[in-house]
Amino acid sequence: MGIYLNPNNKCFLEAISSEIYVDKTGMITYTNKCLNTNDKFICVSRPRRFGKSMTINMLSAYYSNGCNSKEMFTGYKISKNISYHEHINKYNVIFLNMKQFLYEAGIEKMTDYLEQVVIEELHDEYKELLKSNDIKLSVVLRKIYAKTDKPFVFLIDEWDCIMREKPEADELQKQYLDFLQNLLKDQAYVALAYITGILPVKKYGTHSALNMFREFSMTNPMQLEEYVGFTKTEVLELCQKFNMDFNEISQWYDGYSFIKFTHIYNPKAVVESLLSGHCSNYWTSTETYEALKIYIDMNYDGLRESVISLLGKEHIEINTKTFRNDMKTFQTKDDVLTLLIHLGYLAYDEKTHEVFIPNKEIAEEFESAMTVSGWQDLMKVLKASDILIEDTLTCKADNVANALDRAHTEVSSVLTYNDENSMSCAINLAYYSAKKYYLMLRELPTGRGFADIVFLPYKKVDKPALVIELKYDKNAYTAIQQIKEKHYTQALENYSGKILLVGISYDKKTKKHSCIIEEHVK
């Protein structure tokens, strides 16, 4: 066993020995299918805190012939698969953490240093097959394979660190990509190449040095959806085990949605909340809001309006195809929003091509970034929402209407009313702090239509539910009547508490809101 050649399985042992370990070994079933095929090049990109390093340590422990990991995997999902015994500990593994090489040698000498230290280990293991003057890693690996007929599994962590840490170093980035291409592409000694980072493979015009890789990203994770984070079933089981409120966990950490698995949770945050016994914002333990601030402050047409709409719980349609997979080449606001998907600040619906803020934890990151930035008008609206909620609960309809007028004035320079959808976004912003007490449901099916907005109080919160109907260029009475006539409150038939009906309208001529609030009579 070495540092780079066939490292030990200690890291994976620590993972499965932890108080919380969720079995993700089923992913090895997929990588086993890809071994020694045209599909053997796999690039997996995930945000920080989504288990990339744990996965790569799992693969190393499974494939490396420098380990004896059979007992370690016994009882886990992969041990029940037909391919399990065929591949466990049968390969030479080359394990490379690119960030380590970048920090130790610098970007100019990074690949030379990498080749030197890996070749040294290979010489120690295969000295009878190699010459001392072999200085190219690809040459050394070809010689070993020619004599042993034993291919290598390459596991490369933080593969994109140069693009993230040195975004302006275009020529050195290209040299690095060419190095990886020479090391991996069309080489008979490669049984599997699994690289992982935050960004998909860097694009340079029509040329991509690593175009042999199949990419599994936050915009399209394909067969690996359930391995992006924790699934709903996994989180339910954990909440039962640790006696935590599943609905609260969901509000904080759910929201990443894919084709088959529509509820994917941030795994690091879920673990932290279960171990600590309460939900909070754990994102800041590995990332600061300044990183988000840089991007939402960029001066691209429509970006500011999109961010405000996202904060108002809107879904925004974007084009992710123009993103160049780096952290500096932006041509449109869609490129910026696509980067935020890969960083985990936004979720993406592949079916509708829409982005949205996934959960409460990420919403707080947006708030923090805006607080120290040029979003003062919006922050006034958010800070005033506590008073608006209180006025709503005490049925002070005139105060509510006046507060909505002020909120609309604050954001009207960016977000204009054109219809009920844009009005709904502004109303959501005005009621922003309601998330402390309520689960907000939009377009809630009622059997005879859809209620615009429903605020359902969390368990142990002593506040009434709110059913809100919005009318653009009509009147508040019409809104209240629609709630009653279409029996929107039937959607809350399992809720036994008090319900307030709230009708809100906006007159586009006077640019004023009106409001009627009534208690629902059961």
Contacts of 473 (CB under 8 A, 6+ apart): 505, 506, 507, 508
Which residue, 164, 162, 174, is CA-closest to 207?
174
Domain 384-519: assigned CATH number: 3.40.1350
The CATH architecture annotation of domain 10-216 reads 3-Layer(aba) Sandwich (3.40)
- Can you tell me the distance from the alpha carbon of 170 to that of 184, in angstroms, rounded to the nearest whole number? 21
**Cβ contact 343:291 at 8 Å:** yes
pLDDT tens, per residue, the chain with 522 residues: 689 999 999 999 999 999 999 999 999 999 999 999 999 999 999 998 899 999 999 999 999 988 889 999 999 999 999 999 999 999 999 999 999 999 999 989 999 999 999 999 999 888 887 776 767 899 999 999 999 999 999 999 999 998 888 888 888 888 898 899 999 999 999 999 999 999 888 665 545 678 889 999 999 999 999 999 999 999 999 999 999 999 889 989 999 999 999 999 999 999 999 999 999 888 865 555 677 888 888 888 889 889 988 988 889 999 998 888 888 888 899 999 999 999 999 999 999 999 999 999 999 899 888 887 778 888 888 888 999 999 999 999 999 999 998 888 877 666 666 766 778 888 888 888 888 888 888 877 766 777 888 888 887 788 999 999 998 888 899 999 998 888 888 888 778 889 999 999 998 888 899 999 999 876
In the chain, the amino acid numbered 207 is: H
DSSP state of 504: E
Q: Please answer whether residues 342 and 47 qualify as being in contact, where contact means their C-beta atoms are separated by less than 8 angstroms.
A: yes
Residue 302 in contact with residue 330, Cβ under 8 Å? no
Please report, as a single letter, which amino acid is at residue 494. N
CATH 3.40.50 in the chain, residues?
Answer: 10-216
Q: How far apart are CA 424 and CA 439, in angstroms?
A: 16
Give me the phi and psi of 411, to 5 degrees please. Answer: -105, 0
- Host H or E run for residue 444: strand 438-445
The residues near 57 (Cβ < 8 Å, ≥ 6 apart) are: 9, 11, 12, 15
Contacts of 16 (CB under 8 A, 6+ apart): 72, 76
Q: What is the pTM of this model?
A: 0.89
Give CA–CA dist 259/253, Å, rounded. Answer: 19
Q: Which two tokens stand for residue 318?
A: 């974007």
Domain with CATH 3.40.1350 in the chain: 384-519
Which DSSP symbol is given to 143? H
